[in-house]
Structure 1
Amino acid sequence: MGKERVGFIGVGLMGHGMAANIVGKGFPLTVMGHRNREPVEDLKRRGASEAATPRELAEACDIVVLCVTGSPQVEAVVNGPDGLAAAGKPLMIIDCSTSEPSATTRLATELEGKGITLIDAPLGRTPKDAWEGTLDVMVGGTSDQIERARPVLETFAGRVIETGPVGTGHTMKLLNNFLSMGYAALYAEALTLGAKAGLTPTVFDSVVRGGRMDCGFYQTFFKWVLERDPNAHRFAIRNGFKDMSYLSAFANAAGVANPMGAAVRNSFAVAVTTGHGDDYVPMLSDITANLAGTSLVPEADD
């Protein structure tokens, strides 16, 4: 039996590398046109085909991977006038977006009645890992559904972690992002307080790095703080704010007080409302410092 035909919608920062791995590892691939033509043309050179609409893509595929911004975009791609569901055929949809869990479970139930399977498979790590095929994937679905999806997921993932029924992948992703966005807000405030007291980021790092508070996210964050590497963590602040808003809705629905989440969300809200939504998450450190009337930029770079 040949490999299943795969469609991919959302060939942006993460999706481009993921799709390149899918086609590079032998799966027939169709991608949907993207506002940025460069990744689409690159994937076509690698052997992919292009579809003009989600419906056209669905008609050519057995499995469709989504890597879009969130639940509203997923809903539009699936149920829009020319959406995936309009193809009227059995299909597996793998949602790798960071979506709202309640929206995911509702949509999965709705699609099941149409013979369409939806599982959630959000991502951990960075665009660099997408290209290297070493992403973490948190998958919610039945065992049979996950086993069908696994060969596709393993083209771009180093770890495929089963989290439980559909919706639990997106729940775990929100919790994971709560931790990482929480660290970002903490680092930004701690660095700002240090700068106000005359402690440079270099001194701060010399204490933390290699100690108990060091971690992979810290090191990625500080590639921007110390080295001014704009590609250290290419995840937009507005997406962090979106994820923290999803977390807030989830906590409210669960009846759980979430004061830490609210504080982190507020840090990101300030950055977005002051015009920095398109900046990457490590740049929250400079935004926070500047609002406090100080700077984290090394003197040599002034």
Structure 2
Amino acid sequence: MTNSAGQPVIGFIGVGYMGHGMASNILKGGYTLYIKGHRNRVPVDDLVSKGAKESASPKAMAEACDIIHVCLSNSPQVEAVIRGEEGILASGKKGLIVIDSTTADPTSTEALAAEMAAAGMTLVDAPLGRTPKEAEAGTLDAMVGATPEIFDRIRPVIECWASNINHVGPVGSAHKMKLLMNFIAMGYGALYSEAVTLGAKVGVSPQVVRNVIGSSRLNNGFFETFMKYTVDRDRDVHKFSITNASKDVRYVANMASAAGVVNIMGASIKHYYTHVEAIGKGEDYLPMLGDHVAALNGIDMAEAVKKGAK
């Protein structure tokens, strides 16, 4: 099944913060696109206005498409979309390729891949790096787990939304790599939160921390976005919820446990994110973790920033 330009027909399930930009860039690539959203109609209506078609169910989408992207919050959601009564497997669509861009549990990914292979379908894991800003620009990072043959087939589609594409290995390997990446990222978040809090406690302002580290070899993109919220109070600089961050750290812990690897740093990191969820603030974005770590130490981070500006 192809469109008039000879391109495969694409589906996209999960057009949220990341998915909306990805889907927009697939449309810009000239592909016929079917979408399925969730509760928020805004991104769905926007994509429909740009030419996307809306599917009633994953099963219906599978029947109409050659390649389906799935970009959801966690593995249980992916499992429901694939295994559900109106799910992708229920379509019986042999030859279908599903690209899972969720940050998922690799154990679940490998089990789903086996089930889909038995049904004549192919699961590819292609989790993402960077933020919704890069999703809209079409410059995300992509880690891909697939056979070389499948990777070559899907690469032109992935190139619509990613500028840095790495073929990691077989299916499941990309989700493992993504967990390693997010382990480092969530570790940065916890470490920066403690460092800025400690600095404020001993009289070193967040602004000074930003200037000194930002001009040193310790600077990186994650530090810059973290400090853009901490100092500039830009709430939307990194739209990634603490709930999702916490989920990723749990998946890392599960992977370490299954591999028999000591994960002491992971356990320490996990507790900060669990704390924020426990106090009902899980929908705060990742850089806001610093506010919560500061509060645990009797500091109002916004006030510390104001004090540092004087």
Q: Shorter-chain TM-score category?
A: over 0.9
- Where in structure 2 are the equivalents of 1:1-302 lying within 5 Å? 2-90=6-94, 91-297=96-302, 298-299=305-306
Root-mean-square deviation over aligned CA pairs: 1.1
Q: Unmatched 5+ residue regions in structure 2?
A: none
Which letter maps to 2:48? K
Q: Indicate the SS of the match to 2:280.
A: helix
| Greater mean alpha carbon deviation, residues 129-138 or residues 288-297 | 288-297
Superposed CA deviations along residues 200-255 of structure 1, whole A, max 9, x for unmatched, are 10111121111021111100111101111111111000000000000000000000
Contact 1:33 1:51 in 2 (8 A): no
Which letter maps to 1:296? M
Q: For residues 195 and 299 of structure 1, what CA distance do their matches in structure 2 show?
A: 11
Q: For residues 211 and 133 of structure 2, what CA distance do their matches in structure 1 show?
A: 26
Q: For residues 37 and 147 of structure 2, what CA distance do their matches in structure 1 show?
A: 31
Which letter maps to 2:189? A
Q: Indicate the SS of the match to 1:82.
A: coil
Q: Indicate the SS of the match to 1:137.
A: strand
Q: For residues 296 and 72 of structure 1, what CA distance do their matches in structure 2 show?
A: 36
| Greater mean alpha carbon deviation, residues 49-58 or residues 204-213 | 204-213
Q: For residues 168 and 11 of structure 2, what CA distance do their matches in structure 1 show?
A: 24
Superposed CA deviations along residues 122-171 of structure 1, whole A, max 9, x for unmatched, are 00000000010100000001001111111110000001101011100000
Identity %: 50
Q: Indicate the SS of the match to 2:111.
A: helix
Q: Indicate the SS of the match to 1:180.
A: helix
**Superposed displacement of residue 275, structure 1:** 1.5
**Superposed displacement of residue 196, structure 1:** 1.1
Q: For residues 112 and 131 of structure 1, what CA distance do their matches in structure 2 show?
A: 32
Q: For residues 104 and 153 of structure 2, what CA distance do their matches in structure 1 show?
A: 22
Q: For residues 126 and 277 of structure 2, what CA distance do their matches in structure 1 show?
A: 27
Q: Indicate the SS of the match to 2:141.
A: strand
Q: Indicate the SS of the match to 2:171.
A: coil
Superposed CA deviations along residues 269-295 of structure 1, whole A, max 9, x for unmatched, are 111111110000000000110121012
Q: For residues 6 and 157 of structure 2, what CA distance do their matches in structure 1 show?
A: 13
Q: Indicate the SS of the match to 2:102.
A: coil
**Superposed displacement of residue 17, structure 1:** 0.4
| Greater mean alpha carbon deviation, residues 76-85 or residues 265-274 | 265-274
**Superposed displacement of residue 32, structure 1:** 1.0
Aligned residues: 301
Q: Indicate the SS of the match to 2:54.
A: strand
Which letter maps to 1:246? Y
**Superposed displacement of residue 34, structure 1:** 2.4
Structure 1 length-normalised TM: 0.98
**Superposed displacement of residue 187, structure 1:** 0.4
Structure 2 length-normalised TM: 0.95
Q: Unmatched 5+ residue regions in structure 1?
A: none
Q: Indicate the SS of the match to 2:93.
A: coil
